[in-house]
Chains A and B, each alone.
Chain A
C-alpha cells in the first residue's frame, strides 16, 4: 500500500471534498438496567473536533468509547447534553457520517463490489457509482476480488471492504470503531497506512476508537483518553494529548515512545522497565517492543 494509491481517490465522485467539525457538549449517556435503575457510562464529555482532524479515542474496555462514537453517528442518543456536526444537531443515522464497524458487517450474499456500493450516497448516478466503487476497490487492493463473496475472502480483506464501503459515502465525518482490532499485526499496520493515504487524499474528519496506543499515536492528530476518576460513575475525558509531528510518523521515534508510556500510564498499565527499576536507555530504539 504505497502512497501511489492516493491518486485514484482524488477525483472521488462529483461531490466536493468536505470535512465537518464535531462538537460534544456536556454529553452524558446512561443505560437503563434491570430494576428501573440506570448505569452512567459517559458524563460531562466536552469535546470539539476540528474539520479534517483525526481524533483517536482511547480508553479501557467498557468505558464508553464505542458509545461516544455511536452517538456521534446517530446510532445512539445521549441522555444529557448534545452533539452537533457542522453546527447542526446529529440526526438518527446521520447521513453526514459513515461508520466503519469493529466487524466487517458485509452482506454475505453480495459481492465485494456490491457491498462497497451499498455505501454510496443515495441518488448517486449509476455510472458515477460504478466509477467510485471501482476506484475504491483499487485503492484497498481488492480489484481481483471484486466479484468474490465475503465468505470467500480473508478477515483482513473483509475489513478493507468495510472501510471502502464507508469511504464510498464520501463522509463529512468518518467514524471508525476499532476497525483494525481483529486483524493480525502486519495487516493492521498496512491498514493504518492505507487510512493515512486516504486521509491525505481526501482529508475528512476521522473519529477513531481504538484500544491500541501505538495505533492512536501513529494515526491521530490528537488523542483523548476516556476513563473514570473513581468519583462519580461514568467516564469522561481524562487526558488530551496532541501528537507531535506530521504523518506518516516514524513508528520507532523516541518522542512517541515517551508519549506511549504516558498514555499507557493513563490506562493503568505500568511501564515495566521503570516499575522494576530498569534504567531507560534513550539510545536504543524501543520499537519493535
Chain B
C-alpha cells in the first residue's frame, strides 16, 4: 500500500510523484539485524553469567545447575520421548482452552458491549467472577471435574475468557459514535451495522485482547498442571522440584518462557497486520 497524503487535492499526479519525506540516513535502531541482535544481548549476558557462576562453584550446583546440566536434561527428556509429549500436551491444553475461552469472551463481550440490557444483567456478575484468583477455582474444578483434562482445560478457559471479554466489551462501547450515526443515517442497522462498522472498528483491540488471553492461558496452564497432572510442562516443573531435579525445573521454566514468547510473537505479527488493515 502506498502511503501518500497530499494537500493538492485537484492535481493528484504531481503530488503522487513527490517522494516520501527525505530519509536522513537509516538509523541504527531501524535496522532489522540490530533489532534481532539487540534483543539477544541481555539473554546472552544472562547465559554467560549463569555459566561462569555455576562452573566456578560460586553457587553450588544443588542450588543453581549449570546451563550444560539443563541442556543435558533437555537431551535426556528428548531421548526418553517425554519432551515432545510434554510440550504437545501442554500446547494442546492451551490451544483448546484458549479457543473456547476466547470465543466465549468474544460472545459475552459483544453482548455486554452492544446491549444496554446485557450490560446491566451481566457486568456485575462477570466483574465479580473476574476478581476471583485463578488458584481459588482449582480445588472446586478438581472436585467437580476430577483430575482429567476437563478440569485443566476449564481453568484455562476461565483464564483466557476475561482478557477477551473485557477488551471487546469496552472497545465496542467506545466505537466512534459519529461513525455509527453516519452508518445509521445511510440505512444500516442490526447485524449489517455490526458487520460493517462495529466489528471492523474493534478488530485491532480484539486481537490485542486475544494476545493477552493467550499469555494468560499459558499462566493458567501451569496452575492447572501444578496439581494432579501426569504430563505437561507444569507437571515437569512440580515433579522435578519434588524429586530434587533442579536442572529439569530450570528447563521447564526456560521452555515456558520460550514457548510463551513464540506464541505471543505469532499473534503479534497478526496484530500488526490487523492494525494496518483495519485502521
B186 CB to closest chain A CB (Å) equals 5
Is A165 part of the binding interface, using a Cβ–Cβ cutoff of 8 Å? Answer: yes
The answer to whether B13 and A118 have CB atoms under 8 Å apart is no
Q: Which residues of A contact B186 (CB under 8 A)?
A: 98, 118-119, 165, 169
* A147 closest partner in B (C-beta): B1
Helix, strand, loop or mixed for chain A's interface? loop
The answer to whether A101 and B9 have CB atoms under 8 Å apart is no
B19 CB to closest chain A CB (Å) equals 16
Is A160 part of the binding interface, using a Cβ–Cβ cutoff of 8 Å? Answer: yes
Is B80 part of the binding interface, using a Cβ–Cβ cutoff of 8 Å? Answer: no
Q: Which residues of A contact B196 (CB under 8 A)?
A: 107, 118
Q: Which residues of B contact A187 (CB under 8 A)?
A: 9
Is A109 part of the binding interface, using a Cβ–Cβ cutoff of 8 Å? Answer: yes
- Mark B9-35 against chain A: 1 for CB-CB distance below 8 A, else 0: 110110010000000000000000000
Stretch at the interface among A131-139, A151-159, A211-219: A151-159
B13 CB to closest chain A CB (Å) equals 7
B193-244 contacts to A, CB under 8 A, are 196-197, 200
Contact of B278 among A109, A145, A148, A152 (CB under 8 A): A109
The answer to whether B181 and A75 have CB atoms under 8 Å apart is yes
Q: Which residues of B contact A103 (CB under 8 A)?
A: 178
Is A60 part of the binding interface, using a Cβ–Cβ cutoff of 8 Å? Answer: no
Query: How many interface contacts (CB-CB < 8 Å) are there between A and B?
Result: 69
Q: Which residues of B contact A13 (CB under 8 A)?
A: none
Is B125 part of the binding interface, using a Cβ–Cβ cutoff of 8 Å? Answer: no
Q: Which residues of B contact A145 (CB under 8 A)?
A: 12
Q: Which residues of A contact B191 (CB under 8 A)?
A: none
* B277 closest partner in A (C-beta): A109
A46 CB to closest chain B CB (Å) equals 25
The answer to whether A144 and B4 have CB atoms under 8 Å apart is no
The size of the chain B interface, using a CB distance under 8 A, is: 29
Is A249 part of the binding interface, using a Cβ–Cβ cutoff of 8 Å? Answer: no
Max chain A CB contacts within 10 Å: which of B183, B185, B278?
A: B185
Is A246 part of the binding interface, using a Cβ–Cβ cutoff of 8 Å? Answer: no
Is B39 part of the binding interface, using a Cβ–Cβ cutoff of 8 Å? Answer: no
The answer to whether A157 and B185 have CB atoms under 8 Å apart is no
Is B5 part of the binding interface, using a Cβ–Cβ cutoff of 8 Å? Answer: yes
Complex Cα gap A197–B52 (Å): 81
Complex Cα gap A101–B179 (Å): 10
Q: Which residues of B contact A154 (CB under 8 A)?
A: 5-7, 9
* B182 closest partner in A (C-beta): A105
Contact of A75 among B2, B16, B185, B279 (CB under 8 A): B185
Q: Which residues of A contact B279 (CB under 8 A)?
A: 108-109, 151
Q: Which residues of B contact A98 (CB under 8 A)?
A: 185-186
Contact of B187 among A75, A93, A141, A151 (CB under 8 A): A93
* B11 closest partner in A (C-beta): A141
Is B146 part of the binding interface, using a Cβ–Cβ cutoff of 8 Å? Answer: no
Is A22 part of the binding interface, using a Cβ–Cβ cutoff of 8 Å? Answer: no
The answer to whether A107 and B200 have CB atoms under 8 Å apart is yes
Given A152-B3, A153-B5, A93:B185 Cβ within 8 A: yes
A-B interface, 7 closest residue pairs, ranked by CB to CB distance from nearest: A105-B182, A109-B278, A144-B12, A156-B9, A99-B185, A157-B9, A93-B184
- Please name 7 pairs of A and B residues whose Cβ atoms are closer than 8 Å in the assembled complex, sorted by A: A75-B184, A99-B182, A105-B181, A109-B277, A145-B12, A151-B279, A153-B5
Chain A: residues with CB nearer than 8 A to chain B?
A: 1, 73, 75, 93, 95, 97-99, 101, 103, 105, 107-109, 118-119, 121-122, 141, 144-145, 148-149, 151-154, 156-157, 160, 165, 169, 187, 190
Chain B: residues with CB nearer than 8 A to chain A?
A: 1-7, 9-10, 12-13, 16, 178-179, 181-189, 196-197, 200, 277-279
